[in-house]
Chain A
Amino acid sequence: MAIKETQLVDQDYRYGFHDQTASYSFKSRKGIDHEIVEQISQMKQEPQWMRDFRHKSLDIFFAKAMPAWAKNEVLEAINFDDIYYYMRASDREGKTWEEVPEDIKRTFDRLGIPEADRKFLGGVTAQYDSEVVYHSIRKDLEAQGVLFSDMDTGLREHEDIVREHFATVIPPADNKFSALNSAVWSGGSFIWVPPGVHVAIPLQAYFRINAENMGQFERTLIIAEPGSFVHYIEGCTAPTYSSNSLHSAVVELIAKEGAHIRYTTIQNWYKNVYNLVTKRALAHKNAHVEWVDGNIGSKLTMKYPSVYLVGEGARGEVLSIAYASEGQHQDAGAKMVHAAPNTTSIITSKSVSKGGGRTSYRGLVKVYEGCEGVKSNVRCDALLMDPESRSDTYPTMEVDAKDVRVEHEATVSKVGEEQLFYVMSRGLTEVEATTMIVNGFFEPFVKELPMEYAVELNRLIALEMEGSVG
């Protein structure tokens, strides 16, 4: 990328933090070729099939063109030769809470983030504080037979399960960035839920031991066996600084018969990050998959969580919000592919553009021939906060079956002057009133979040709205 690393450590960034790259114990050289891929695989002591998979994926990455439909000059600016493809974090020793900059601590204060979380988010070793909590959760999960680890550990310890499911939902050839991820992936979560098991608490990467969190090329695989339930939470509302400006994760979910997976993401990367993610779920007979997806940070996010409804009676839902301010483009959306009869899907997308930011909804609802009884509803609402900002809606519906009901609706508007006037007449300032209206706009999303996340998100929106008016 064109930006120098030193410039990335932007002192004006009030809510972020970063690790010094020096604290990484291993760092491959910049650029990407088969030698780097070989090195990564060797470091991880992977089985031959995974090594072959990485090399094959790299060839696909080289061969594939950038997505033509994106027509995005921002995307073309990515310099793949100027990126580190593998870094392994050291044990993070030596960094203390005192070293975390004051302004970040202040932001944590204002967001009301619990003490333990703060230290983790601040890059401070958090294991001591969370160990007790962590162990009790860990014990419960083990008792239920749930497997939960980082992806590298998953591959080492449960190779059979990984090999059976890995890259079956998103093959390397799906797109250029899934091919890149397949070649250089590292970290991410591996979850396997046994048949009929209901995981009561939401699983978060935070609970993992020695987690290689928020890696550049995360690879997450969640398998819910028949009749099971799991809720996974990725990311956090607090801003996440990264010196690596390209992030390209692959997330695969497999919900077997009657299983239910909910996957919640809140993405708040620092505004230098390209976040190009492929997320897809397979929903078998009567399975239910929900993506709850929030995009607040990053320079450019391209992310379209998908559900392939391959079994009769399967249900897919995407509930997403996007917030773009100056210099940001949130190109997010959802895809529902109905490949079985009597499947249903709901997509609800809400976006706010401010200060010259751009939000785009890009989606697809596809109904294959013979898939009768399909119902799909897509709803997109966008708020524009000023004349400099932009909002696009690019939904696509392809219907090949007769007895189906596919609906799409979208609106774009600004915060109504009447609404503002009404709220201000009750004694609120313009900033407070605007914040309240935007929070209300995001409400359907926020109420699906665990409470502490919801509280944080509302406060974050309040922070973002400061200075947006007046």
Chain B
Amino acid sequence: MRSSSTGSSRSRWKDPLANTSAAPALELSAIEALTAGEASWLREVRHGALERFESIAAPTDRTEGWRRLTLDGIDLSPATSEPSHFTLTLSEADRKRGVVATTIGKALESHEPMVREALLHARSGRTVGKYSALAEAAWQGGAFVHVPDGVEATEPIVARVQTGTYPRLIVVIGKNARASVTESHHETARFVAGLSDLIVGENGHLTYAHAQECGARTIVFSHQHARISSGAKLVTLNLGAGGALAKSDIEVELLGRGAESDMLGLVYARDAQQFDYHTLQGHRATDTRSDLLFKSALDDRAHSVYTGVIVIEKGAQRSDAYQANRNLLLAEGARADTEPKLEIEADDVRCTHGATVGPIDAEQLFYLGSRGMDRDAASRLIVEGFFQDVFDKVGDERLTRDLEAKFAPDLEHEG
């Protein structure tokens, strides 16, 4: 396998724990070793993914989708595959109702058809990136959450990851089922590439939060892919706080009539952190609705790149789509790039998007100042409000309560 063009010798972010100077991490033989004992269909999926990974050239600062990032000093060479261990929290009452939270390995025994279906269709979205292909080839461990048809999980299900390099979570919500799931990442290794597959059956309802709080030196790749059936609804909240460079693809496919998705995102970036979010609102059936709000607050020399696309396929009449990206610049050195895109091939649609980049509103500061509030306190209040708006839209306080506390703005060093 090729090693990445940004060699580890140049890395400023080299994690002593990650042992990057070792031989290239993922040979075919390594995949063979991983997959020993796996079903042949799954080995085929892994081999196919490894081929895709190798067929895509290593990114440089001229590669589309990468050229806005600063790759100097970023070590993109893949890490050795270490199994990901998810700590799963599921209430006893929900377990008794038939809700399942287990490892993918165990689920392959107990729910084979369902897991197989999920793994075979996992990367049917538009963006098959180099590192999502890598994760698909190399994942180990991983978690599986399933809510059977007609069941409502009463407590949020939590999947927390602290170790591992290629974490994977599969969530399958049955027909007329309902659940809230939080996936949180706290890995500190040099390199993490994760996959999240969300499948919502007919008239199902899933509220899903993905909190990325990895180590400050970690390179974090994340690929989220959701498939929504008719009448079903998915609400997602993506929070980005950790990592030196975090690159996420968040794709929702509305596959059945009347499917809906609310997609929320919040990035709080500091120091020289780089966040790159790509979203897809894929309208592939009639009467579908999607609403996206991604916000970022950028301090110090942080940099955010947002590219989002609404695709309304031919025949997806009466689609209704909205997309907004708001960027708040808190420091001179901060930087925001935004590219909200529309591709519309049906005429009976309503499709709107908007994007803004700007500092804290001077009028708001002035107003709060006139009420006797000092500038720091006023700034903090405004940023809190900027964040709160996103949490409120999730509409599930049980899920967001803890996350809100972690996302309190820290502006003490502001002038």
A residues with CB within 8 A of B: 68-69, 382, 384-387, 389-414
Contacts and interface: CB of A to CB of B under 8 A. Distances in A.
Interface stretch (B126-134, B350-358, B380-388): B350-358
21 contacts: A68-B64, A384-B344, A384-B346, A387-B314, A387-B315, A389-B345, A393-B353, A398-B68, A398-B335, A399-B329, A405-B356, A405-B358, A406-B355, A406-B357, A406-B358, A408-B340, A408-B353, A411-B352, A412-B342, A413-B351, A414-B347
B317 interface: yes
Nearest to B309: A394
B340 A399 contact: no
Nearest to A360: B343
B118 interface: no
A409 B339 CA distance: 11
A408 B345 contact: no
A394 B339 CA distance: 7
Interface in B322-351: 327, 329-332, 334-351
Interface of B: 64, 68, 314-315, 317, 327, 329-332, 334-359
A397 B325 CA distance: 11
Contacts, number: 108
Contacts of A413: 349-351
Nearest to A366: B337
Contacts of A412: 342, 344, 349-352
B346 to A, nearest CB: 6
Contacts of A385: 347
B344 A399 contact: no
Contacts of B352: 409-412
Contacts of B343: 390, 392
Pick the 3 closest A-B CB pairs, nearest first: A384-B347, A393-B342, A412-B351
Q: Which of B339, B343, B346, B357 has the most CB of A within 10 A?
A: B357
Nearest to A413: B350
A405 B357 CA distance: 6
B210 to A, nearest CB: 25
A397 B344 contact: no
A382 B348 CA distance: 12
Contact of A414 (B337, B348, B357): B348
A405 B353 CA distance: 17
A407 B336 CA distance: 12
B219 to A, nearest CB: 23
Contacts of A69: 64
A395 B306 CA distance: 12
Given A387-B315, A387-B346, 19 more contacts: A384-B344, A384-B347, A385-B347, A387-B347, A389-B347, A391-B342, A392-B342, A393-B341, A394-B339, A395-B340, A397-B336, A402-B329, A402-B330, A402-B332, A404-B357, A408-B354, A412-B342, A413-B350, A414-B348
A383 to B, nearest CB: 9
A198 to B, nearest CB: 36
Contacts of B330: 402
B354 A399 contact: no
A287 to B, nearest CB: 24
Contact of B355 (A387, A408, A411, A414): A408
B339 A396 contact: yes
A399 B336 contact: yes
A413 B347 CA distance: 7
B361 to A, nearest CB: 9
